[in-house]
Structure 1
Amino acid sequence: MNAVKELVPDMVEWRADKYNEVKNIEKVKMMLSQLDEQLGRIPLLFTFRTIKEGGDTEIKENAYTDLLQAVIESNNIDLVDIEYTLTKENRNILVNYAKKHGIFVVMSSHDFKSTPNEGSIVSILAEMIDAGADLPKIAVMPNGIEDVFILLQATNLMKKKYPAHPIITMAMGKYGLISRLAGEVFGSDATFGAGRKASAPGQIHVADLRAVLKVIHQNS
């Protein structure tokens, strides 16, 4: 945590699927209490990334739902990641529970094989908004630079259709790096940097990311 705070992040994401005791809800809550105390006013995003969405730990959907409910109830987080691919029933349970406790919802979708067409990307993001997402997020894997154009065009279209609603979009891997660095130019409202080790393909160190963002902000 000391190393993280030295990087002066705007927000911190805890990828709890990398925690060995993540299936022990009491230990997760104890860890969250410590993280909350250490972070002070820095917002904390809790994410359990399932294997089908690129995570590290297998978990059944009902156990995932129970875990996220306990985390939300702890009131030691500011945002919670809820995966779009959950059943509508469990997704609605978690969204409603988060809103009841004043926790913002990042609803996420990941495609590690390809990039959907522009219409599909816009449709998925719009469905997330309809489902109650405060921050709909989609990450795709481009198989060429043309796929990155598709992602950025879809991002721009979403921003035109929902100008008051923040969204997060990114293309992963080497082709998608520009979307992590300059996504905000096209309408994406947040990007992720690595503290020590990347948690997704193409993620760069937060210091390098901040340097690029500073140049963009100073000249736009």
Structure 2
Amino acid sequence: MNNTMIGQGTKPLICVPLVGRTGDAVMAELSEVLVKKPDVIEWRADFFGDISQSDEVIRIANWIKKAAGDIPFIFTVRSRREGGQPITLNDHDILELLINICQNTGWEYIDYELSNPPAYIECLRTVALKTKKKIIGSFHDFEGTPAADILLQKFAQAVQYQLDVAKVAVMPRTLEDVLALLQVTLAAKRLVNIPIITISMGRYGVISRMIGGVFGSALSFAIGANSSAPGQIQIDDLRTVLTVIEKAIGASNN
């Protein structure tokens, strides 16, 4: 399997989500996904019905890692306020679970929302440094596309917290919103010194998943078994598009 990390390579990596409600469902998804050879896999644990059972979450996380080998993994518990599933865990409970993942699994990445309390972010960063994990500082807006200065502030915030990757995902209402997101991507790529991920969601935003890498986005999400957000396309289709774009740009530079 490809063990390239986010920000490495000449084209954006492809990440597929696992969103099963049960352990058996997650394992079945993983079996289906591995055949398609994604670059990265994300477990959206907020979809998992037993997320409050920390020992079970750790058990499945370790099983996933053992089954997939060297492929990088992202562990994510998306909050309800940023488009996640309704769960019984509060912000402090989620922090404790993420610390547990850092300390007791071999997973490479933890996705953590920038809207969390600064003290929580600092705490997780300290644990991540000790356990050699990387943190993706993320911001999601499922209602619209904020102004460019607000989005650039999110990237700057991730840098200020000394996180490893900065991610912004927004919902376009017009095609102009998609263009605005791509412009922000290009600006952020030139301004910050860490890898960035940008996504314009929904049907208008599909194009950003295909060409975001041209503007500086280091990773794009696709469907391996099931979707975790609106606008994701099948991994085989996305891989074909990214290969064509890379070939065309490479040819034009020669």
Tell me the TM-score range normalised by the shorter chain.
over 0.9
Equivalent residues of 1:144, 1:175 under 8 A apart? yes
Alignment of 1:1-220 (within 5 A): 1-58=30-87, 59-162=89-192, 164-220=193-249
C-alpha distance after superposition, 1:65-114 (max 9, x if no partner):
11111011113211110111101111111122112110011111100111
Mapped to 1, the partners of 2:153 and 2:86 lie a distance apart of 29
Stretches of structure 1 lacking an aligned partner (at least 5 in a row): none
Equivalent residues of 1:81, 1:108 under 8 A apart? yes
The number of residue pairs the alignment matches comes to 219
CA RMSD of aligned residues (A): 1.0
C-alpha distance after superposition, 1:169-211 (max 9, x if no partner):
1111111111111101111111111112210010111111111
What secondary structure does 1:147 align onto?
Answer: helix
Mapped to 2, the partners of 1:140 and 1:124 lie a distance apart of 12
Mapped to 1, the partners of 2:245 and 2:164 lie a distance apart of 25
C-alpha distance after superposition, 1:39-79 (max 9, x if no partner):
10111111111111111132211101111110111132111
What secondary structure does 2:202 align onto?
Answer: coil
Equivalent residues of 1:75, 1:101 under 8 A apart? no
Q: Which residue of 1 aligns with 2:8?
A: none
TM-score of the superposed pair, with normalisation by structure 2: 0.84
Q: Which amino acid aligns with 2:162?
A: G
Mapped to 2, the partners of 1:4 and 1:120 lie a distance apart of 35
Q: Which amino acid aligns with 1:121?
A: L
The structure 1 segments of at least 4 consecutive aligned residues displaced by more than 3 Å after TM superposition are none
